[in-house]
Amino acid sequence: MSQSWSTSWLFWAFLSAAFAALTAIFAKVGVANIHSDLATLLRTIVILALVAAMVGFSGSWQAPGEIPARTWIFLILSGLATGASWLCYFRALKMGDAARVAPVDKLSVVLVAIFGVMFLGERLSAMATLGVVLIAAGAALVALG
């Protein structure tokens, strides 16, 4: 039985990539006349409102006390990492070309692969390893070119 597009991880991953690309373009224009940290704050407020609406409409709210402590710890760590990433990303966009900043930012793909192997016990096939190496090489070529 084949998956429908809405239940395919690949569909959502491509959609994420498309929105990430738009994020870079919109952010580059949006950060032009204000401090990058303020731009990040304003963007975060919009994201908070959007996600709160999605949780409300989908009925996926869960009482905070029902969420396990381990989940809280890792979601807090993830939130801190996201915030730091966004602050750095917007600062880089303020100073550099979006077409060069975004590919370097995508070195996160390489780091996720490495960290997944090191910390989560994931395995990469030879083809996936080649892909990760090519992503790193591509980011380096764009950054240095």
Calpha distance 21→26 (Å, rounded): 9
Q: Which two tokens stand for residue 34?
A: 């204000």
In the predicted model, is pLDDT for residue 51 greater than 90?
Answer: yes
Calpha distance 60→118 (Å, rounded): 32
Q: How far apart are the first and last CA of the chain?
A: 46
Q: Between residues 143 and 125, which one has the greater pLDDT? A: 125
pLDDT, average across residues 56-71: 96
Residue 27's pLDDT is 93
pLDDT, average across residues 52-65: 96
Amino acid identity of residue 17, one-letter, is A
Closest C-alpha among 20, 17, 39 to residue 30? 39
What is the rounded radius of gyration, in angstroms, for the C-alpha atoms of the chain?
18
pLDDT tens digits, one per residue of 71-130: 999 999 999 999 999 999 999 999 999 999 998 998 999 999 999 999 999 999 999 999
Residue 145's pLDDT is 82
pTM, to two decimals: 0.82
Q: What is the DSSP string of 61-124?
A: ---GGGS-HHHHHHHHHHHHHHHHHHHHHHHHHHHS-HHHHHHHHTHHHHHHHHHHHHHH----
> Helices 107-120 and 98-105 meet at what angle, rounded to 10?
10
Residue 135's pLDDT is 95
